[in-house]
């Protein structure tokens, strides 16, 4: 609910904050430098290309939402969703 001219969550509203980490490959932001033409270096972050994607998991007859990188999307296309989810669960991920 919005109160006044600014938006702020009420105590009854649940806020979900997720890290910028791929659930399949574990890719996360890395640090580096922005380098100007005059070679001045300032700190910056390189963010992974993350997408939130829904897959139909036929083995359990349900939809699964995963936050993954585009590299992980290619891995799912190559190896199959069931194989990737099995590996994620073996690593301790809750899917």
Q: From CA 18, how far away is CA 51, in angstroms rounded?
A: 12
pLDDT per residue as tens digits for the range 29-41: 999 999 999 999 9
| CA–CA gap between residue 43 and residue 46 (Å, rounded) | 10
User: What would the pLDDT profile of 56-94 be if each residue is shown by its tens digit?
Assistant: 999 999 999 999 999 999 999 999 999 999 999 999 988
Q: Which domains does the chain have, with CATH numbers?
A: 30-90 (2.30.170.40)
Q: What is the dihedral of CA 72, 75, 81, 87, to 10 degrees?
A: -80
Give the global pTM. 0.73
């Amino acid at each position: 609910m919005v109160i006044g001219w600014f938006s702020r969550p009420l105590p009854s509203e649940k806020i979900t904050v997720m890290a910028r980490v791929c659930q399949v490959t574990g890719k996360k932001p890395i640090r580096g430098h922005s380098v100007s033409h005059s070679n001045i270096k300032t700190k910056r972050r390189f963010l992974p290309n993350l997408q939130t994607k829904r897959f139909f998991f036929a083995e359990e007859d349900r939809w699964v939402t995963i936050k993954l990188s585009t590299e992980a999307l290619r891995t799912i296309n190559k190896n199959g969703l069931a194989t990737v989810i099995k590996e994620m669960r073996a690593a301790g991920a809750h899917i």
